[in-house]
Structure formats: structure tokens, C-alpha cells
Amino acid sequence: MIDRVLRPVVALLAVPALVACSAIGDIRRDPPSRSAAPTAAPGPAPPPSAGFDEVRAGRVAVAERYDDPFVEFSDAAHGWALFASCDGGPPDRNCPALLFSTLDGGRSWLTVRHPRPVADNQQLYTAPGLVTLLAEPHGWYTSTDGGASFVRTDGEPLAWRTAQGRFQVIEATGRVGEWDGGALRPLAAQPPVPGLNTVASSADLLVAAGVGDEGPYAAVSTDRGRSWQRTPVPAPAGTVAVLRAKVAPDRQVWLVGERPDRMDFPALWRWQGRWESVPAQSYPSRIVSVAPIGAGRVAVTGPYGAGAVIDGRYTPVAWPVGPEHYLTTLDDGTVFARGPADVVLGTGVGTDRRWVRVTVEGD
């Protein structure tokens, strides 16, 4: 599981992932920030650029006037493509929204009937086993059978909320709630965390994190939220504005401390029975995205392409993603990189991955 704000389809949004957020509008955020704590290098030289192991160029029946699609994957095999903008504007009766799905990682695409193809604002969200469409002002449309049928709701679909995990932050109150399939009910015991922002679970460990007047705070529960223990977070160098709890593909729990401008390299901590600061010597001064990827490593993209924090040091890595790509991690551990003209899937462990470029274009 991993990381998931609504962007109109001309500014479409993506979905998110591991941390249990509250409302559907909080699913995938804008790119994280960076920190100004460890030692910032003026600019590490980029590694030799790597090529793709495979390129999957999908062709679908779409007229020329359609703009580029919004493409989203829930794992390395299952993805969706939504064409919902024509000549820079919302779809109309002469140019309705078109929906496609793939079951083989973008090698082939199937036409799916869009339940409400004409709307002022179209958005697409996906999680394992479901796809959710927003067609404003008409409502939400959710399918759990690969698009064979859709169920309409006025508000956030229950299936989507279920996909966000058992424990989630209740947006209206800032408390931790437990999802029972129909409602998000506050836990009787609440974590002693000011400015609670996220809650994440890994095996038997439940982690709540936030930022108060005195800096970052975190608490853990080992009995599924019946009791909590505040866990000291070592003071970061520099200011942390937002603290995110994230779970890597290997179930390692991390804290990512975003900086006030969301642009400086973040502060990092890893749970090892207690929170331990993870230094990042020689890191780039600016980054675009950050994502724990397993094997004790955190990947970032920035002005010099991709890099990773390995053994306390930032190291450029030869990945075929650049400063235009925004990284997240899918539920199956795949690194998902979104660019302006493609998406990239990286399967494997840690920084050792096989890279596939996926594009979807009209025939």
C-alpha cells in the first residue's frame, strides 16, 4: 500500500495507496517536499541514463481531437486510461469521455463503456479490484468487476473507502477511525499526537504521525488501536511542516517530514523498534517526489533525475525517469512514475528494478 487531491481531468488526479487518508479528495497529493537538514550538495552529477527494458505503446480507437489520456495503475498488470479532454476543454456530446483498461501491464487495452461520458469534470481513481470515476455534477461511478458494470453514488463510494484500509484519519475531526464497511468510527483510544496527519499499518504495527508546535510527533499501537504509546522522533535539522507515515513494499515503516515549501529535501526516519533518523549526505537541493521502495532505501526524483538514499547517503541511480516524473509505490511494490507523456513501471526490489514505459495513444 502506499501514497494517494483531486485535480480536474484537464487537471486529473491520481490515486493513492498506503496511508489511510480520509476523504476521496485527499487520495493522492501534490508532490511532497524536501528538507534542508543533511548536507545539500550543489548538484550531484546525474548517472548514465538507463534505457527501458521494454516499451509498451498502446493504440486505442480515439479520434485525433482528444487530448492525452490520464493513465493510472493499481499494480504492475492492471491499469486504466481515461480520455476526458478534447481540444483543451471538457468532453461534450461530440467528443465524449472514453475509458480503457489493461490486464497485462499496458501491452493491450480493452474498451470499457464509460457510465457518464459527458460531464463538466471527469476524474479517475483506481485501487486493486476497483475503479472509481467522478463525473461532475452527476456523481461517482464505481466498478468492482473490471468495468462490466458501475454503481452510481452521490458521495464517496463505500468500495473506495474500504480500499483505503481498516484504520484511517477522520478528516472532519482529525481523529483515528476504524472502518467497519459502512462507517468510519473513532477509536476509543486516540494517539497522543498533535496535528495528526496520517495513520499507517504494517503487520501488527499501527503508526500515527503529525506535527505540533514543538516539531514532529508519532505514536504506535501493537494492539490494533486499543492503546497507544508515544514514540520520540529525533529532532530534525530544519523545519518540518507535514509528517507522513509511509510503508515500504517490504513493510518497513518510515516517517517523511515535508518542508514548508514542499521543495527541499525531506527529513527521514525509519522504525527499528524506535524512530531512527536516516541521514542523506550530498542530497540534491530540490526534489520532485520521494517514496520508500524497500531494502532500507528511499527513492527521489529531482532536477538531476532519480536517486536513492542508501546507507545514509544520497546516490544517483541509473533509472529511466527524469525530473518530470513523480514517483509513488503501488500496492504490489511496483514503483510507478508519472510523466507528462508516459507512465513508467519499475518491478523488482529496492533499486534493482526492471523498467517498462507505457504510452496510450489514439489510432
76: nearest Cα among 291, 293, 345, 320: 345
Chain segment 213-267, per-residue pLDDT in tens:
999 999 999 999 999 999 999 999 899 999 999 999 999 999 999 999 888 999 9
d(CA 270, CA 253): 6
d(CA 36, CA 327): 20
Q: Rounded mean pLDDT of 115-139?
A: 96
Q: Rounded mean pLDDT of 286-312?
A: 92
Question: Per residue, what are the HEC states of the chain?
Answer: CCCCCCCCHHHCCCCCCCCECCCHHHCCCCCCCCCCCCCEECCCCCCCCCCCCEEEEEEECCCCCECCCEEEECCCCCEEEEECCECCECCECCECCEEEEECCCCCCCEEECCCCCCCCEEEEEEECCEEEEEEECCEEEEECCCCCCCEEECCCCHHHHHHCCCEEEECCCCEEEEECCCCEEECCCCCCCCCEEEEEEECCEEEEEEEECCEEEEEEECCCCCCCEEECCCCCCCCCCEEEEEECCCCCEEEEEECCCCCCCCEEEEECCCEEECCCECEECCCCEEEEEECCEEEEEECCEEEEEECCEEEECCCCCCCCCEEEECCCCCEEEECCCCEEEEEEECCEEEEEEEEEEEC
Q: Rounded mean pLDDT of 93-112?
A: 96
Question: What pLDDT, on the 0 to 100 scale, is given for residue 42?
Answer: 41
Question: What pLDDT, on the 0 to 100 scale, is given for residue 50?
Answer: 66
Q: State yes or no: pLDDT of 100 exceeds 50.
A: yes
Q: State yes or no: pLDDT of 56 exceeds 70.
A: yes
Q: Rounded mean pLDDT of 110-133?
A: 96
Residues 6+ apart with CB under 8 A from 139: 116, 152, 153, 154
* pLDDT classification of 38: cutoffs 50, 70, 90: very low
- The separation between CA 250 and the C-alpha centre of its own chain, rounded to angstroms, equals 16
Chain segment 157-204, per-residue pLDDT in tens:
999 999 999 999 999 999 999 999 999 999 999 999 999 999 999 989
d(CA 115, CA 98): 10
Whole-number average pLDDT of the chain: 86
209: nearest Cα among 230, 184, 185: 230
* pLDDT classification of 21: cutoffs 50, 70, 90: very low
Alpha carbons within 13 angstroms on the beta-carbon side of residue 160 total 28
Question: What pLDDT, on the 0 to 100 scale, is given for residue 115?
Answer: 97
Pairing of strands 139-143, 130-136: antiparallel
Question: What pLDDT, on the 0 to 100 scale, is given for residue 12?
Answer: 37
CB-count exposure of residue 26 (10 Å: 0-12, 13-18, 19+)? middle
Q: State yes or no: pLDDT of 299 exceeds 90.
A: yes
Residues 6+ apart with CB under 8 A from 233: 215, 216, 217, 218, 243, 255, 269, 275
* pLDDT classification of 110: cutoffs 50, 70, 90: very high
317: nearest Cα among 340, 357, 346, 359: 346
Least confident of 8-17, 91-100, 253-262, 328-337: 8-17
* pLDDT classification of 283: cutoffs 50, 70, 90: confident
> CB count, 10 Å around CB of 88?
8
First to last CA, the chain: 34
Least confident of 6-15, 63-72, 259-268, 351-360: 6-15
Q: State yes or no: pLDDT of 11 exceeds 50.
A: no
